[in-house]
Structure 1
Amino acid sequence: MNLFIWNDYEWRLIKDSDEYDKKSFFVVRKLFVQWPKEGDAMTCNKIIREHYEAYGDIEFVEVVNEESPFDIHEAYVTFARSEDAYYAFMAGRRGTKAIQLLPADTWRQPGVELRLPEQIKAKNDDFECEDITVSELINDETHMCKCATVVPTIHLRQPMGLKSVLECFKPMKERVEHVNIVFDFVPTDMYINCLTDREYVKRAIQVISKIIGDRFNELTITKADTITLELLDALAPMLKLTETLTLEIENNASVLYVLVDYCPNLIDLVMTSKTWSGECSDAIARHWPSIVRLVIEGQLNIGGDTNDNAKLQQFIELNSQLEQIELNTLININVIRSIAEHCKDVYSLATVHANYNDIDAIVDLLAQMKHLSSVKLSFLKVQMDELNVLATCAERFSKMKQLKLVTLFQNLEPPQNQQFLRLFTYSVKVHDGCSCHGPNVRKLQLGGINKMLDLPENRPVFATFINTFNLKDNNADMDLLVAPIIAFEKAKKFFPNIVDGTPIIINDEDNSLCIHVSYA
């Protein structure tokens, strides 16, 4: 915790553990405010409270002088935390509606002149305010009925006060269901809005938390470097209500194992990251009774015999209620074994593997999953002579009567640095009776080419994607063109009906994607 200390000549924000001259400085929690009079004293106090709540929790607002001049209302504002009083005071120095704003123990002293040391002046006065701005409001309030949904996207970057965000959404509080927070400001050693980057983010999250109402249930955080426990504490009021959470972070994917303490009602978690390392690395896997869908994406190599791999297996085993699991990151067969043995209700599964080495064992495990209706297997590197495996897979999958959709994605002899890149560039998504297309509608969405294929209802579908070098290149090996065609033809024996619009060959600058979709 930080303290706002003050004397007649200077002020500072210090850590409560720091030493300071207690005879010369006093700790400030109470501010004296002179405010343009608006209505009676009770009305003015309410307006002042609403204004300063943007900076932190307020214990009370009290009238200083009932006999104050007719056009000025004077009040004390007492903050729960000294640090919050500091932020409110510094914001007032840059100009607010307040006529005067001073620490309460100072304002009556005659002849007080505030003289700041140069280093404090530089820290507090010289930098431009950079704050939250609202980049997108899907439904404008001017043409919105009371039942309409508000989905604000809030960028932590451009000049707009924290209070402005609060005031912007306060009238729409009960209509906010989904909040998207984008961490796209550039870190700096300078104080932003008189705050360090860390303090600024914490304060911004606290203000955003005031936007939400009873309808709120979905939170998206993107472009964040990491998710710390301090940030989770600030997000706690929102996370408690969140049912769908999407995290796009660079590091600390191990936050997965502590979220259960903050998100007791979470059903759907989507997390993209590059590393497991971070503040939560030592957290242990636990049972999370509410979660039903788990999506993990990114270049998180948990395919080896590592602690990360073992911890993820343990998490899956402890959460046997999972119904949808998408592990779009490199895993080993032991993870699938844990899913097959413990998660009996899984109906949708997606996994990524280094190569075809374990394909027979993988298919054996999938055959044990009696409720599995959709499976997507991606292989980061496949050799040309291994494409015959497609026909073997097609034969075995055709005998699994519970399956409605099988998707196989293969990178055919790709460069090492493009294995994951190709996987995400040409993503595949299935729409089966979802809200975006309606009930009894099945479509296959091909990412990267913005194409949608209609799938037959109640017929098992086999979709294969082979990503290879650019087939239009004059120097390309003709076998690269012929091999996928031969593989498709062999697999077609078990799924003989071709879906309209396929096969498809898409030529990119460096590679080509061959798509074949058929059904039984």
Structure 2
Amino acid sequence: MPFIWDDSEWMLIDNEDSYDKSRFVVARKLCVRPTQLDVANEGFSIESIRRHFRKFGEIESIELLPNNEPEAHVTFVSDRIACFVQSHFELDTKMNKMQPYEVEPAYTWEQPLENANPPPGDDMEVDDEQTSEIFRLDEDCLLHMFKFLDIDSLVNMAFVCKLFNQLLRLHCFPRIQKYKVYINNPTDTLAKVRRTMLCIGQHITDLSFRTDLFYGPGSQHRSEVVSHTSKYLKVIAQNVSQNVRQAFFCFGFNGNLIGTIAPILQNLRSLTIVNRSEKFENEIDFNALCPNLIEFNVNAQLSMDVCCKPWSSLRSISVMYNNKLEPEKLISIIEQNPQLTCLRFAWYSENYRALFPAITKHLASLEKLDIWCNPYHVPLNNNFVVHFDGLGKLPLLREISLGRLEVGSLKGVVDNLPKFTNLRKIELTGCSGNNSEIIINYGQSMVNLARKLLLLEELTLDYIPMEEETLLDIVRFGRQLKVLYVYQCKLVFSDELIFKLVDALKCYREESDEALQLLLPQNDLDRLDAAKKIEGYLQLKRPETSI
């Protein structure tokens, strides 16, 4: 009658072979915490724990954990004794009897391997009398079959037998370097993540962890959510190696959870954080936690007071969705980190105009600049254009992205862009409600932009209304363009318009020139029949999207 546990629920079952061994482990190690203050301060020792628990049965070992809160692991010689202890304490809790300790099974990955599920590669042999035909295939055939399986299936195969495990560990798992964990249910078990991490953890270089569980201010479920998230982060942090270079974390941040993933942060080159709660409980010094970071993307309400200092490795910072960051703090970061080559921020108010002189003065190495207006604030207007003008002095700027531009300010922005003579890529995004009646104000400016920027290779126009002739002139005079993305510009892309674009390309481009890639939404591509006839001059494609 094994006592089994899956990090969420435990049970005592009759048949040793009647449970899912991929989910549960046999548990004989319990996690013990004191409930009374005097016990926590004075009596929480190995001897006091032994005196209290020896009446239930023989104890194999007791270990005090080096945590901030008093905690210990008690391992019994039998899982049945552990079950007896667990049941006894739960019954007393239901009867409202005061107990000096809280008791629950230790995490599955902390359970002793004896009487528990072995890790991949241990104690897995193929029976010589196996009759299944799959065991008669040679290694090349098996490896070919494995190519068609997803990660979950490959992990399951690793637990079938020693042969499969060895083949997967040598030829398949080392190639799996990207792993995503997505948790959206508090009752989800850790078994799948744990088994997967045992197989591929040491090979992961790109890690993504996201949970849709979050708590607001005063939420009654806060401790439950934090505890649940912590379990997943612990099993990940204990199994990944120091090879992780890129990470994405989306959960309700607090100091304890950050401490759990600190070993991962030490060697990161790129970090994206998304905070699911309204604000950070306390400021976190990411500079100290991530000394080797090159790219830092903050999608969280973080004032970044403790980050306002030199960060020698940092080259790219994005604070696009952080309205808690005051302009003065961002200016301080800019002043102390002149090595930055990429800067992305949101324009929340006129107070952000002070950023432009700081950028021009300190970021001489800047190559990429993204400025977007927060959707809940006034779009980028003519006041923004006045301050934007001075950025033309940046000598190395290659890419510019401007978002939520008012249609009335487009002409001023576009007229200023030719000053950035080294631009290779431009992305302009307007507002969904832009008025098409004033297209003529900036149509010729768009054409001049394509004509004057001789190094421009990619141009994105999103929610920028334009006339058909303006698009044709951009293609005619922007001979250097390689990629043109047009979306929601109030143009109807018919076969007739596509052939007009091809005719313009034939007249103004050499036959040896690379074909222009025109990126269109899928619904526009679906109704076009011209795609097969224009490959030499124009390639119609759907833009890549990131999730």
| TM-score bracket for the superposition, by shorter chain length | 0.5 to 0.7
Task: Measure, in 1, the Cα distance between the counterparts of 2:261 and 2:206.
Answer: 14
Name the SS for the 1:140 alignment partner: helix
Q: Relative to 1, partners in 2 of residues 1:147 and 1:357: Cα closer, same or farther, differing over 3 Å?
A: same
Shift of 1:79: 3.1
**Given the alignment, which residue of 222, 232, 241 partners 1:204?**
232
Task: Measure, in 1, the Cα distance between the counterparts of 2:71 and 2:284.
Answer: 35
Name 1:291's counterpart in structure 2: 314
AA aligned to 1:227 is F
**Given the alignment, which residue of 107, 111, 116 partners 2:92?**
116
Shift of 1:358: 4.0
Name the SS for the 1:213 alignment partner: coil
Name 1:266's counterpart in structure 2: 293
**Given the alignment, which residue of 428, 442, 460 partners 1:408?**
428
**Given the alignment, which residue of 198, 208, 214 partners 2:242?**
214
- Is 1:240 aligned with 2:216? no
Shift of 1:311: 0.4
Task: Measure, in 1, the Cα distance between the counterparts of 2:108 and 2:181.
Answer: 10
Task: Measure, in 2, the Cα distance between the counterparts of 1:232 and 1:282.
Answer: 17
Shift of 1:342: 0.8
Q: Relative to 1, partners in 2 of residues 1:173 and 1:29: Cα closer, same or farther, differing over 3 Å?
A: farther
Name 2:355's counterpart in structure 1: 335
Deviations 1:451-496 (A, max 9, x none): xxxxxx984147363527xxxxxxxxxxxx7x66687689789747
Task: Measure, in 2, the Cα distance between the counterparts of 1:288 and 1:261.
Answer: 9
What number of residue pairs does the alignment pair up?
374
- Is 1:315 aligned with 2:329? no
Q: Contact 1:294 / 1:326 at 8 angstroms: preserved in 2?
A: yes
Name the SS for the 1:366 alignment partner: helix
Q: Contact 2:287 / 2:307 at 8 angstroms: preserved in 1?
A: no
Task: Measure, in 1, the Cα distance between the counterparts of 2:89 and 2:433.
Answer: 74
Name 2:23's counterpart in structure 1: none
Deviations 1:21-48 (A, max 9, x none): 689x94265878xxxxxxxxxxxxxxxx
Q: Relative to 1, partners in 2 of residues 1:28 and 1:267: Cα closer, same or farther, differing over 3 Å?
A: same
Q: Relative to 1, partners in 2 of residues 1:86 and 1:464: Cα closer, same or farther, differing over 3 Å?
A: closer
Shift of 1:177: 1.5
Q: Contact 1:150 / 1:176 at 8 angstroms: preserved in 2?
A: yes
AA aligned to 1:247 is I
Task: Measure, in 2, the Cα distance between the counterparts of 1:87 and 1:190.
Answer: 25
AA aligned to 1:175 is H
Q: Contact 2:458 / 2:483 at 8 angstroms: preserved in 1?
A: no
Task: Measure, in 2, the Cα distance between the counterparts of 1:28 and 1:196.
Answer: 27
Task: Measure, in 2, the Cα distance between the counterparts of 1:113 and 1:130.
Answer: 18
**Given the alignment, which residue of 160, 163, 174 partners 1:147?**
174
**Given the alignment, which residue of 385, 391, 401 partners 1:376?**
401
Q: Contact 1:248 / 1:272 at 8 angstroms: preserved in 2?
A: yes
- Is 1:365 aligned with 2:350? no
Deviations 1:292-316 (A, max 9, x none): 1112232x458xxxx7111011111
Shift of 1:360: 5.0
Shift of 1:242: 1.6
Q: Give ranges in structure 2 of 5+ residues lacking alignment.
A: 1-30, 110-149, 158-167, 374-378, 436-452, 492-500, 510-547
Q: Contact 1:348 / 1:375 at 8 angstroms: preserved in 2?
A: yes
**Given the alignment, which residue of 196, 211, 214 partners 1:183?**
211
Q: Contact 1:333 / 1:358 at 8 angstroms: preserved in 2?
A: no
Task: Measure, in 2, the Cα distance between the counterparts of 1:329 and 1:122.
Answer: 56
AA aligned to 1:221 is F
AA aligned to 2:60 is A
State TM-score, norm by structure 2: 0.54
AA aligned to 2:315 is V
Task: Measure, in 1, the Cα distance between the counterparts of 2:46 and 2:83.
Answer: 11
Deviations 1:231-266 (A, max 9, x none): 222221111122111112244479887210111111
Shift of 1:373: 1.2
Name 1:424's counterpart in structure 2: none
Q: Going by fraction, where is helix more abundant, 1 or 2?
A: 2
Task: Measure, in 2, the Cα distance between the counterparts of 1:217 and 1:265.
Answer: 10
Cα root mean square deviation, aligned: 5.2
Matching of residues 129-148 of structure 1 within 5 Å: 137=151, 140-141=154-155, 142=157, 143=168, 144-145=171-172, 147-148=174-175
Task: Measure, in 1, the Cα distance between the counterparts of 2:173 and 2:72.
Answer: 35
State TM-score, norm by structure 1: 0.57
Q: Contact 2:340 / 2:366 at 8 angstroms: preserved in 1?
A: yes
Shift of 1:165: 3.8
**Given the alignment, which residue of 223, 231, 245 partners 2:257?**
231
- Is 1:355 aligned with 2:380? yes
Task: Measure, in 2, the Cα distance between the counterparts of 1:113 and 1:495.
Answer: 76
AA aligned to 1:173 is G
AA aligned to 1:229 is G
Percentage of matched positions with identical amino acids: 12
Q: Contact 1:351 / 1:376 at 8 angstroms: preserved in 2?
A: yes
Name 2:44's counterpart in structure 1: 27
Q: Contact 2:366 / 2:396 at 8 angstroms: preserved in 1?
A: yes
Q: Going by fraction, where is strand more abundant, 1 or 2?
A: 1
Deviations 1:122-162 (A, max 9, x none): 9999x9x9999xxx948935555353124332244454555
Shift of 1:325: 1.6
**Given the alignment, which residue of 71, 79, 85 partners 1:98?**
79
Task: Measure, in 2, the Cα distance between the counterparts of 1:358 and 1:221.
Answer: 36
Name 2:412's counterpart in structure 1: 389
Task: Measure, in 2, the Cα distance between the counterparts of 1:170 and 1:382.
Answer: 54
- Is 1:75 aligned with 2:60? yes
**Given the alignment, which residue of 336, 340, 343 partners 1:325?**
343
